[in-house]
Amino acid sequence: MNKEIKDIALRTIDIETKSLSGLKSFIDDTFTKVVELIHASKGRLVVTGIGKSAIVGHKIVATLNSTGTPALFMHAADAIHGDLGMIQQDDVVIVISKSGESPEIKVLVPLIKNFGNTLIGMIGSKQSFLAKEADHILNTSVEQEACPNNLAPTSSTTAQMVMGDALAICLMHLNEFSGKDFAKYHPGGNLGKRLYLKVDDLYKQNEKPFVYGHATLKDVIISISKGRLGATAVVDNNHALLAVVTDGDVRRMLETTSDVKNLLVTDIYNKHPKTVMEGVLAIEALELLKQYDISQLIVTSKDNIYLGILHLHDLIREGII
């Protein structure tokens, strides 16, 4: 039974992979024209379908909206019972259907054409009603469903999903949709934080431990303990950064020095601290922490004024890691 289950799973993957490979032959001049048409449209992209195609339509709409192409989903069954009012004059409509012959589709298509909207059919049969009525076609034909009875929508819905992704990413490119744009539409969750969260949003919540250049070892230890960040900055009278002392520096010094009474911060500090400038993205600060294998970065202004300390735990707490 174990082997049988694995064989069925592998067969499913093989069939669907073959179906996706077949999509490459459908990326032709018609596909390009559809992308350019949607890009040039002054309206939105309305996606509709029935059954499993409707579920795929929801996903395609979500991807389009999050990558800069205004889109909305209209269920084919609801459309013929009032939701046609969602379609505006300049909208482009994509109807998704494997057979292109569903009763709801046959009722809906003439209504859309009467409105004068451009109609694109994402279809699995070029001989279907939808294919003949559509202004343009996105071909998602597959040779075989992964279902052993060749009935349950599997390969066909996967092909529809990938064609939708190809469409969205092409439009994303034409719209010059950047990482900053993406962050604007994804402000929540860890993904959004990686794109917009800055060092300034984190270090200001921490203590700001520091000592002056003439501080004693006792001053250093007290500052590190109070700050609870594993380090303290060394600054001049204008708070310009001079150096840093970490708890590791203190431990290493204690291991090698027996007389510590007269030690000053200048005896143990690191004159080349690892820093990050204010305004830098938190994800960039994380890369610095990884690069140098350290737990904290000293935050400075452009003029090298000490502002605070960013700790690895700040990034963990925000879900950046």
- Which residues make up each annotated binding site for Zn(2+)? 75
| Residue 103, C-beta contacts closer than 8 angstroms, at least 6 positions apart | none
Question: Across the chain, where does the E strand assignment appear?
Answer: 45-49, 71-75, 92-97, 118-123, 136-139, 210-212, 231-235, 241-246, 275-277, 296-300, 306-311
Q: Which amino acid is at 269?
A: Y
Neighbours of 6 (CB within 10 A): 10
SS3 61: helix
Residue with structure tokens 């040779």? 143
> Angle at the Cα of 197 (from 194 to 199), degrees rounded to 5?
115
DSSP 27: -
Rounded distance between C-alpha atoms, residue 27 and residue 25, angstroms: 6
> Angle at the Cα of 276 (from 274 to 279), degrees rounded to 5?
175
Residue closest to 14 by CA, chosen among 137, 226, 175, 158: 158
DSSP 180: H
Rounded distance between C-alpha atoms, residue 270 and residue 246, angstroms: 9
Q: CB-hemisphere CA count at 13 Å for 28?
A: 10
Residue closest to 49 by CA, chosen among 66, 72, 68: 72
